[in-house]
């Protein structure tokens, strides 16, 4: 029955059109940035990315983020209510301090650290050594988007790479590095919170009260920081400012698959291939009988459910928060399918 369900889901994934338009409506494909020169002979910059560029420039010029961000966002016809519509300032300050060259170096170092962390974890986890090379190669494939300079201003890009690194660094009993990296991801984008909640829950399941308490402290600190963020934003919000369009839009399977495909290197593939690959990634994680496999399965299924329920079509970039590490699951697909077939034939 499980094997039949997997086959049915793969067929549905192949038939599900994946796309997004920046006006929030579904489309057959992604509105990719144009490389055609404008009247000024410069490549056209996506409006969202251009907005973040201006924010970074103003911080680099000495202005304080909360003194201008609401005004700047309003002038760009972006909503400022609720407070979550205004990004946390962490990435903008890092970018302003390091500049484009510094961010390039940081991206390369982060990609290298993430690939190395997964090389080590695959070599140490049960069942991981046999796929250590191919699994690390898949991690490199997922992480390579992180060095795409065009998207350096995207919060989800950095949060996703940091979560992939935190996941790779984590071991039961050795979690300090993972906690620190996850804290930085959370400071950049609040969409990293489900990862932190899951890590805390897994620590409770293992009865590791010290680790559970550490993740709990991080959650409390984040809630305090986001409340402070809301208070600073609200002081600049006007009663006439419109509310952001609803994020709870119930996009279903296209929401999950579209977010992952369009925010990863899968976006270059036809949707008939890319959609099923997302499901095969999760199947691979589920087939890896190890602490990492269990955590990954719960993590990616949880985010998948969230993407099916919440997020408009033009929020596809949310998928970058989890897309990089998902690629590792492809290394375990043969193992998972073999296990399912053997079970179906009564040979388990």
The answer to whether residue 122 scores a pLDDT higher than 50 is yes
Distance CA 258, CA 49 (A): 20
Task: Give the pLDDT of residue 19.
Answer: 65
More confidently predicted of 242 and 167: 167
Banded model confidence at residue 47, pLDDT cuts 50, 70, 90: confident
Asked if residue 49 belongs to a domain, the reply is: yes
Specify the residue for token string 């300032």: 89
User: To the nearest whole percent, how much of the chain has pLDDT over 90?
Assistant: 71
201: burial class by Cβ within 10 Å (0-12, 13-18, 19+)? middle
- Give the residue among 175, 159, 169, 172 at the shortest CA–CA distance from 215: 175
Asked if residue 66 belongs to a domain, the reply is: yes
Asked if residue 298 belongs to a domain, the reply is: yes
Distance CA 335, CA 184 (A): 34
Q: What is the 3-class SS of 219-245, one letter each residue? A: HHHHHHHHHHHHHHHHCCCCCCCCECC
Task: Give the pLDDT of residue 40.
Answer: 46
Task: Give the pLDDT of residue 45.
Answer: 73
Banded model confidence at residue 150, pLDDT cuts 50, 70, 90: confident
Asked if residue 137 belongs to a domain, the reply is: yes
DSSP state of 322: T
Q: Which H or E run includes 92?
A: helix 90-124
CA distances in angstroms from 18 to 129, 143, 175, 265, listed in the order given: 34, 22, 37, 14
Distance CA 339, CA 283 (A): 11
Task: Give the pLDDT of residue 339.
Answer: 87
Banded model confidence at residue 22, pLDDT cuts 50, 70, 90: very low
Sequence-distant (6+) residues with CB within 8 A of 43 are 33, 34, 35, 36, 37
Structure tokens that stand for 82 in this block: 């609720």
Banded model confidence at residue 12, pLDDT cuts 50, 70, 90: very high
Banded model confidence at residue 271, pLDDT cuts 50, 70, 90: confident
Write the DSSP assignment of 240-280 as a string of letters: TSPBPPPSB---THHHHHHHHHHTSGGGGS-HHHHHHHHHH
Distance CA 159, CA 157 (A): 6
- Give the residue among 303, 305, 299, 300 at the shortest CA–CA distance from 280: 300
Q: Which domain holds residue 110?
A: 35-344
The neighbouring-strand residues paired with 20 are: 30
Task: Give the pLDDT of residue 44.
Answer: 66
Structure tokens that stand for 103 in this block: 């961010």
pTM of the predicted model as reported, rounded to 2 decimal places: 0.90
**Predicted confidence (pLDDT) per residue in 181-240, tens digit:** 999 999 999 999 999 999 999 999 999 999 999 999 999 999 999 999 999 999 999 988
Structure tokens that stand for 58 in this block: 């103003």
Of 100-104, 133-137, 242-246, 305-309, which gets the smallest average pLDDT?
A: 242-246
Banded model confidence at residue 17, pLDDT cuts 50, 70, 90: confident
Sequence-distant (6+) residues with CB within 8 A of 79 are 73, 85, 241, 242, 243, 244, 245
Whether 52 and 153 have beta carbons less than 8 Å apart is answered as yes
Of 154-158, 267-271, 273-277, 284-288, which gets the smallest average pLDDT?
A: 267-271
Asked if residue 1 belongs to a domain, the reply is: no
Asked if residue 254 belongs to a domain, the reply is: yes
The answer to whether residue 294 scores a pLDDT higher than 90 is yes
Structure tokens that stand for 159 in this block: 């949060």
Whether 344 and 3 have beta carbons less than 8 Å apart is answered as yes
Count of alpha carbons within 13 angstroms of residue 94, beta-carbon side: 19
Count CB atoms within 10 A of the CB of residue 273: 12
Distance CA 143, CA 201 (A): 26
Asked if residue 10 belongs to a domain, the reply is: no
**Predicted confidence (pLDDT) per residue in 58-94, tens digit:** 999 999 999 999 999 999 889 888 888 899 999 999 9
Task: Give the pLDDT of residue 39.
Answer: 43
Mean pLDDT, rounded, for 141-158: 92
Task: Give the pLDDT of residue 71.
Answer: 93
Task: Give the pLDDT of residue 37.
Answer: 43
User: To the nearest whole percent, how much of the chain has pLDDT over 70?
Assistant: 92
Task: Give the pLDDT of residue 314.
Answer: 84
Average pLDDT, the chain: 89
The answer to whether residue 28 scores a pLDDT higher than 60 is no
Residues present in the chain in total: 348
Count of domains for the chain: 1
Asked if residue 242 belongs to a domain, the reply is: yes
The answer to whether residue 148 scores a pLDDT higher than 90 is no
The answer to whether residue 31 scores a pLDDT higher than 80 is no
Sequence-distant (6+) residues with CB within 8 A of 139 are 114, 115, 118, 119, 164, 168, 324, 325, 327, 328
């Amino acid at each position: 029955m499980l094997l039949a369900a997997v086959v049915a889901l793969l067929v549905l994934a192949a038939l599900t059109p994946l796309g997004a338009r920046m006006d929030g409506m579904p489309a057959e494909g992604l509105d990719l940035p144009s490389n055609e020169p404008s009247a000024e002979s410069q490549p056209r910059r996506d409006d969202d990315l251009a907005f973040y560029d201006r924010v970074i420039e103003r911080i680099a010029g000495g202005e304080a983020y909360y003194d201008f961000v609401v005004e700047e966002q309003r002038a760009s016809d972006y909503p400022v209510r609720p407070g979550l519509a205004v990004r946390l300032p962490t990435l903008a300050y890092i970018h302003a301090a390091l500049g484009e060259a510094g961010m390039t170096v940081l991206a390369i170092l982060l990609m290298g650290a993430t690939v190395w962390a997964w090389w080590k974890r695959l070599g140490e986890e049960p069942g991981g050594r046999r796929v250590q090379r191919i699994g690390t190669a898949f991690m490199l494939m997922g992480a390579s988007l992180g060095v795409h300079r065009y998207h350096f201003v995207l919060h989800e890009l950095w949060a996703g790479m940091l979560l992939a690194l935190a996941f790779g660094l984590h071991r039961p009993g050795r979690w300090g590095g993972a906690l620190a990296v996850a804290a930085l991801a959370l400071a950049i984008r609040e969409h990293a919170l489900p990862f932190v909640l899951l890590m805390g829950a897994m620590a409770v399941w293992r009865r590791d009260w010290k680790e559970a308490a550490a993740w709990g402290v991080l959650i409390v600190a984040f809630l305090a920081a986001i409340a402070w963020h809301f208070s600073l934003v609200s002081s600049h919000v006007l009663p006439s400012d419109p509310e952001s369009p609803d994020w709870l839009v119930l996009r279903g399977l296209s929401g999950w698959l579209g977010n992952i495909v369009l925010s990863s290197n899968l976006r270059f593939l036809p949707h008939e291939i890319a959609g099923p690959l997302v499901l095969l990634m999760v199947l691979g994680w589920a087939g890896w009988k190890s602490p990492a496999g269990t955590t990954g399965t719960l993590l990616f299924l949880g985010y998948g459910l969230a993407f099916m329920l919440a997020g408009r079509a033009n929020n596809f970039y949310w998928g970058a928060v989890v897309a990089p590490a998902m690629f590792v699951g492809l290394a375990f697909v043969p193992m998972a399918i073999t296990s399912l077939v053997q079970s179906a034939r009564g040979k388990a």
